[in-house]
Amino acid sequence: MLPDQQKATNLVGIAEADETFFLESFKGKKQGMMRAPRLRGGKASKRGLSDEQIPVLICRDRNGNTPDFVLEKADKAHIYAALKPVLSRDSILCTDSGKAIVAAARAMGITHRRINLAAGIRVVSKVYHVQNVNAYDSRLKTWMQRFHGVATHYLPRYLGGCRLIDRSKNALSPPTFLSASLGIN
């Protein structure tokens, strides 16, 4: 099975979720582009979040189980659809103050702990935090930088590759990683 198809299907206990964004890319595409091509990843034409950014929802429980979802939009409906199958009713979801995730958690009826990072609050009740998911986001972004922009069409495959490396704790040799990336056991 390919790495993009190997993601956690059930998060247990305390789970953390966060959105991250990647610049939309048509890398390798020669026809049907709606804009001029960017070179080496490039930069968005608009500051901040815009329709040029592709939202990715990263979820992680304290056991390291990590599903991720390339979303059409980072709104309540799409986040709800992604989280509902992987979170059980007795899960506790920790997030930053993203309104869409908070609304999705409320709609699912699960316990939610909001961590207000903007106010300098990193841990609530010595247990609830988003440090695991934020650390994974950081490793993901660092890993993706080497590719100078990933074609949006292939984003799930790159996310799967990063999960594979993370699960192995960077202990994969290049031949083993290549075999796993091709689905060869």
The CATH number linked to 35 is: 3.30.420.10
CB 102 within 8 A of CB 112: yes
Q: Residue 60: what pLDDT?
A: 95
Q: What sign for the dihedral angle of Cα 185, 83, 91, 49?
A: positive
Q: Domain total for the chain?
A: 1
Q: Residue 48: what pLDDT?
A: 56
Distance, in Å, from the CA atom of 21 to the CA atom of 46, rounded to the nearest integer, reads 14
**Which among 147, 164, 121 has a CA at the least distance from the CA of 1?**
164
Q: Residue 70: what pLDDT?
A: 95
Q: Residue 176: what pLDDT?
A: 79
Q: Residue 30: what pLDDT?
A: 60
Give CA separation, 153 vs 23, 43, 45, 59, in Å: 12, 18, 20, 21
User: In the Cβ-directed half-sphere of 121, how many Cα atoms lie within 13 Å?
Assistant: 16
Q: Residue 43: what pLDDT?
A: 64
Distance, in Å, from the CA atom of 163 to the CA atom of 66, rounded to the nearest integer, reads 7
Give CA separation, 19 vs 29, 72, 176, in Å: 27, 12, 30
Domain that holds residue 89: 3-181
| Weakly modelled stretches of the chain, pLDDT under 50 | none
- Which helix (H) or strand (E) element contains residue 100? helix 99-108
Q: Residue 28: what pLDDT?
A: 61
